[in-house]
Amino acid sequence: FKSVRRHRETLVKFSIIASGAAVFNTLLMYVLVKAVGLPYIFAQILTTLTTLIYGFVANTIWTFGHNVK
C-alpha cells in the first residue's frame, strides 16, 4: 500500500477505474446473458472475476503505481 501520489490524485484515478468497472460489469453481463445465452449465475461468476482482475490490475498500475522518469 505504499504510494508516493497525493490522495486527491489517487482518489480521482480510483474513481475513474471504479466507474469504468461498473460500466464494464453491466455491459459484460448483458452480452453474456442476452447475446451469448449463458445462464445468469455463470455469467455473474465470470463477470465478477473479470471485473475484479481488471480493477486490481488497473489500480495497481495506474492509481497506485510509481512514476517512472
Query: Which conformational region is residue 7 in: left (phi greater than 0), alpha (psi within -120 to 50 degrees), or beta?
Result: alpha
Question: Which has the higher per-residue pLDDT, 18 or 10?
Answer: 18
User: In this structure, are residues 54 and 24 in contact, taking their beta carbons and an 8 Å threshold?
Assistant: yes
Alpha-carbon gap, residue 57 to 65, rounded angstroms = 10
pLDDT, residue 69, reads 47
DSSP state of 38: -
pLDDT, residue 5, reads 62
What is the model's pTM? 0.77
* pLDDT at 32 > cutoff 60: yes
Write the pLDDT tens digit of every residue in 38-58: 999 999 999 999 999 999 999
Among 20, 19, 28, which residue's Cα sits nearest to residue 48? 28
Residue 65 confidence class, pLDDT cut points 50, 70, 90: confident
Alpha-carbon gap, residue 32 to 22, rounded angstroms = 15
